[in-house]
């Protein structure tokens, strides 16, 4: 950042300094030319044609430099057919006469016709009264004073722009260093966290960095929750498998006659526990994606078609909004809806009604059936793993438990109510709406 800003500053200052030098140098040169033009005009005004047809002056130019040999200030009058008339300061030298001067207007140029002097020349062609000849009036002055003024100007510009450039670069460096202080503080805090000296990034932060810190702390909390859930799930699974394994070991050690039946029964129990915890583990892993999105209507239609093939005697109706999107993975949504709709088809009286709607930032999915329903006293217990109110039909008793656990993982809820329209059970599944 500092190098790029410094390069840009130097580029701008160089361009600006060059442009300013051109403008000021031109202004100094114009001022110098105006002095020459004043002398040239004075010389022309005092000029007249003598009896011999040569130019004469009614009064001498007052500047003393015109009388001192090689003083650096010269004048000369030239005309076709006449010898040039020089100032005394030219002594034995003469100014060069060219054909490029326009008639009637002054022309300015630099000349190096004298080896030891660089001259600035102002000249004008004029036809004096009583003469048919165009006379070339020339005023020349050495550029030493002009060049000294331009050199002093450039030295001032260079010193000023160098000082300005150094000041700007130092300001950029200081601003960059100060602006990146929060990131260095963040680096130190992360090092503390990695070393186990801190669990969060605390302390006041500038407004530009505060959102990053907040998101980072949220990410840390999310990872901690996931790790804690993983430990709890591992412990729950170990505890759930411990009892069936103990029963099998005791039966095998005692040489019980019903050992095969005991192994099969306890193995089924262990399989239910493993299936349940695997479902939770999959949901927890997929929840880490902040972009989890699932369109509700296609999921409902897919589940409705699958359940309708299994329970062909059941009528399944679907209604509601078709544009709802929930913050959940499609696979988890299909699994929850599949459990709910299958339960409604299995335990209902032959009619299932599914409704999808939006409610205060949530997506609500209502699954109703026309069965006998569930007593209010059993509506909480039914969510426990392995609990089945109707043991006469096949199942593991894990469907509603899985639905509840997966919904909670995505910050949703599931509740059991009585269906006002069909008279049976209504399951209300609420999931956060995707943004």
The model's pTM is 0.49
Secondary element (H or E) of residue 368: strand 362-369
Q: For residue 217, is pLDDT > 90? A: no
Q: Does position 76 have pLDDT exceeding 90, yes or no? A: yes
Please tell me the predicted confidence (pLDDT) of residue 251: 82
Q: Which residue has the higher pLDDT, 332 or 168?
A: 168
Contact between 47 and 135 under an 8 Å Cβ cutoff? The reply is: yes
pLDDT of residue 80: 87
Mean pLDDT over each residue of the chain, to the nearest integer: 85
Angle at 203 between CA 197 and CA 207, to 5 degrees: 135
How far is the C-alpha of 206 from the C-alpha of 226, rounded, in Å?
30
Identify each DSSP E strand in 157-287 by its residue range: none
Task: Say whether pLDDT at 102 is over 90.
Answer: no
Give the closest residue to 278 by CA, choosing from 267, 286, 288.
286
Q: Which of 331, 387, 381, 326 is nearest to 359 (CA)?
A: 326
From residue 82, give the alpha-carbon distance in Å to each of 85, 135, 179, 282, 346.
9, 10, 79, 113, 131
Per DSSP, the residues of 170-197 read HHHHHHHHHHTHHHHHHHHHHHHHHTTS
For the chain, the farthest-separated pair of C-alpha atoms sits apart, in whole angstroms, at 160
Phi, psi values for residue 380, rounded to 5°: -90, -40
pLDDT digits (tens, 9 = 90+) for 364-395: 999 999 988 888 877 777 766 544 444 444 44
pLDDT in tens, 221-243: 878 877 777 777 677 677 667 77
**Mind listing the pLDDT tens digit for each residue in 229-284?**
777 767 767 766 777 888 888 888 888 788 888 888 888 878 877 776 676 666 66
Whole-Å CA distances, 267 to 239, 241, 249, 259, 313: 15, 9, 12, 12, 33
The sign of the torsion formed by the CA atoms of 78, 84, 85, 86 equals positive
pLDDT in tens, 286-304: 554 556 789 999 999 999 9
């Amino acid at each position: 950042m500092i190098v790029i800003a410094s390069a840009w500053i130097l580029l701008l200052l160089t361009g600006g300094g060059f442009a300013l030098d051109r403008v000021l140098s031109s202004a100094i040169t114009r001022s110098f030319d105006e002095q020459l033009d004043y002398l040239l005009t004075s010389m022309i005004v005092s000029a007249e044609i003598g009896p011999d047809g040569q130019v004469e002056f009614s009064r001498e130019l007052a500047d003393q430099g015109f009388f001192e040999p090689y003083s650096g200030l010269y004048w000369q009058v030239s005309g076709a057919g006449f010898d040039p008339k020089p100032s005394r300061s030219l002594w034995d030298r003469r100014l060069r006469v060219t054909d490029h001067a326009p008639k009637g207007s002054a022309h300015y140029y630099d000349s190096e016709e004298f080896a030891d002097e660089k001259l600035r020349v102002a000249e004008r062609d004029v036809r004096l009264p009583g003469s048919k000849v165009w006379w070339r009036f020339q005023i020349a002055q050495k550029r030493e004073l002009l060049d000294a003024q331009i050199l002093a100007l450039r030295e001032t510009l260079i010193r000023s722009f160098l000082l300005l450039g150094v000041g700007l670069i130092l300001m950029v460096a200081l601003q960059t260093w100060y602006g990146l202080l929060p990131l260095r503080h963040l680096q130190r805090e992360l090092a503390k966290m990695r070393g186990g000296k801190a669990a969060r990034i605390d302390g006041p932060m500038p407004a530009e960095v505060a959102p990053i810190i907040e998101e980072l702390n949220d990410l840390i909390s999310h990872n901690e929750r996931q790790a804690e859930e993983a430990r709890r799930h591992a412990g729950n699974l170990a505890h759930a498998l411990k009892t069936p394994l103990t029963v099998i070991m005791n039966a095998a050690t005692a040489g019980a006659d019903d050992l095969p039946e005991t192994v099969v029964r306890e193995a089924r129990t262990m399989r239910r526990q493993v299936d349940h915890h695997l479902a939770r583990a999959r949901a927890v892993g997929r929840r880490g994606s902040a972009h989890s999105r699932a369109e509700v209507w296609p999921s409902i239609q897919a589940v409705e078609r699958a359940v309708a093939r299994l329970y062909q005697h059941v009528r399944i109706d679907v209604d509601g909004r078709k544009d709802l999107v929930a913050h959940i993975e499609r696979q988890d949504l299909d699994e929850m809806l599949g459990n709910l709709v299958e339960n409604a088809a299995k335990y209902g009286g032959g009619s299932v009604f599914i409704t999808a709607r939006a409610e205060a930032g949530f997506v609500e999915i209502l699954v109703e059936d026309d069965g006998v329903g569930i007593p209010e006293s059993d509506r909480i217990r039914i969510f426990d793993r392995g609990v089945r109110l109707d043991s006469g039909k096949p199942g593991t008793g894990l469907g509603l438990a899985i639905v509840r656990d997966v919904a909670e993982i995505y910050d949703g809820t599931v509740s059991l109510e009585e269906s006002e329209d069909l008279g049976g059970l209504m399951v209300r599944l609420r999931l956060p709406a995707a943004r």
